[in-house]
Structure 1
Amino acid sequence: MKKILNTLLQLTCFVLLVTIFSCSVNRANVDDSLKKYFDDNKVEGCFTMLSNGDGKVTVYNLALDTARVLPASTFKIVNSLIGLETGVITDEKMVIKWDGIQRANADWNKDMNMLEAFKVSCVPYYQEVARRIGKDTMKLWIDSLSYGNKNIGDKIDTFWLDNHLKISPDEQLGLMKRLYFDQLPFQKRTQQIVRDVMLQEENTAYSLSYKTGWGFDEKKNNIGWIVGWIEENKHPYFFVTMVKSADAAIDMKAVRLNITKGILKHLGFFDGRK
């Protein structure tokens, strides 16, 4: 009973935090100068950033910023949080055995731990995590997080890839901020582990943490994501890049990172002066 009451209290506090700290497009500064970074890569898309210091929100392409699409592998952030919180994943070193199926991505064809699976965005690893979590528990947590449209469909191991679950860039931005500040309804240890595995670059000028995603919407458009934060002089800035393209030959891995880093540099990052 005590455990149940603690859980209810935790979720109640989370709902209040969502209300207080959610990102609002109503106070966003629309910056159309960022359009060139998408045009240069011949794609559509949007970019949104929240400066934690002053609460300023910068957005390019407000219509796409508030439109929900599949999260693709950015859902590995939440899958990791739920896996860790429920004990399905013991820690970032927990290994799941390779199932022996040869896949096009050679990086996935081996036993690997959570840290490795997160870095190479290993779909089979996280599909197994989702199966071990189970549909009822997964739905409970998705509802508790109020994650996007909260629709996980009938297939526990593909719902974030098959356009059942959808989330907007603006909602992703709010999620990043709450994760950074331990404001999600998970233990601090759980959130710290996920923040640690999201770290991609760190030096004396800045640290850059993010998760990528790549999938296809119902019209077969490529949907690419980068969600995370950049920190300079202990000041975090949360950002989301979403890329949309009908080009089947697009190099999404390169495009989404080129756009993100180009915009960040345009906004004055990477020199440690923010």
Structure 2
Amino acid sequence: MKTKISFLFFVFTLNLFSQNLEKDISEIFNDSDAAFILYDYNNQNFIKHNPERCAERFLPASTFKIPNSLIGLETGVIKDAEFVIPWDSSETWNPAWNKDHTLRSAIKYSVVPYYMELARRVGREKSQYYLNVFDYGNKTIGNIADFYWLDNSLRISADEQVLFIKKFYENKLPVLQRSIDVVKEIIIIDSTENYILRAKTGGGEKEDGNFIGWYVGYLETKSNIYLFALNVDAKTFEEMAPLRKELTIKVFKQLELIK
């Protein structure tokens, strides 16, 4: 009950402050069916584009690699960032996947077979346990226990993604600090003298045949932290893939968070 009340207060606060800078970023999304949330950590303010869509749940796709990595580390299936799961010699559409991978390289190249094998080794029961204690979206695995984050069984909203990332950033998930530290280190996308961007992309096919893209994470500047979640629809994967980071970076620059 406490978690549910906290989430409701979080969403209420999000809605209360979401209009502050919405006009500043709305033009960025004029040609896109998208949702975006940015949380100003120090000031506890939100910017929110498309509130209705922000509350709508979609498959998390490879953004689930953040919690999935935590699950692998917590259960002991994965020992550390350099833990190798061998390629099973099955050819995939992505040549980068067709080799042995470590946890570090698997999250960098979004290697689906690595995480499918991880899920098989963890098992349905333990996976379900962590979905529950993380309070992750609808917490549903469905019929296929090694593909549920991609087959529209598991669903999560942009609102919920930001709440999860907030708990992850604050080290408030019920996992060991070591597990959180490993995952925080392997999701660094950019590191400069002015900021560090930690994030994960995701992309998959929705039940209506369109593709959804995600970009989820947090930006650390010298003076503040900004948690964010973006999702965007497109008719093809190729159309969707570049939009995720492009739109997010445009927002950061529009708000002068980065140059």
TM-score (structure 2 length as normaliser): 0.93
Residues of 2 paired with 1:17 and 1:182: CA distance?
A: 20
Matched length: 256
Identity %: 36
Corresponding position of 2:138: 149
Q: Would you say 1:257 and 2:235 are equivalent positions? A: no
Q: Deviations over 1:56-107 (max 9, x none)?
A: 0110000110100000000001100111001011111000000101111111
1:36 Cα deviation (Å)?
2.3
SS of 2:18 mapped into structure 1: strand
* Alignment-derived partner of residue 102 in structure 2: 113
Residue 270 of structure 1 pairs with residue 249 of structure 2: no
Is the aligned partner of 1:35 residue 2:23? Answer: no
Q: Distance in 1 between matches of 2:223 and 2:119?
A: 34
Aligned equivalents of 2:152, 2:8: Cα separation in 1: 29
Matching residue of 1:84: 73
Matches within 5 A, 1:185-224: 185-224=174-213
State the Cα deviation string for residues 133-180 of structure 1 (Å, max 9, x = none).
100111111111111111111211111101010000010001111111
C-alpha distance in 2, partners of 1:117/1:249? 20
Shift of 1:216: 1.3
The Cα shift of 1:235 comes to 1.7
Task: Tell me, yes or no, if structure 1 residue 227 matches structure 2 residue 221.
Answer: no
The one-letter code matched in structure 2 to 1:258 is E
> Can you give the 5+ residue segments of structure 2 that lack an aligned partner in the other structure?
none
Q: Which amino acid aligns with 1:122?
A: V
Task: State the shift of 1:19 in Å.
Answer: 5.2
1:102 pairs with one of 88, 91, 105: 91
Q: Sort the Cα spacing of 1:71 and 1:249 in 2 relative to 1 into closer, same or farther, 3 A.
A: closer
Task: Using the TM superposition, name which of 257-266 and 18-27 deviates more.
Answer: 18-27
Deviations 1:107-152 (A, max 9, x none): 1010010000000000000000000010011111111111111111
Residue 21 of structure 1 and its aligned partner are, at CA, apart by: 8.1
Q: Tell me the distance in 2 between the aligned counterparts of 1:218 and 1:19.
A: 27
Q: 1:52 aligns with which of 9, 16, 41?
A: 41
How far apart in 2 are the matches of 1:234 and 1:99? 46
C-alpha distance in 1 between matches for 2:7 and 2:28: 33
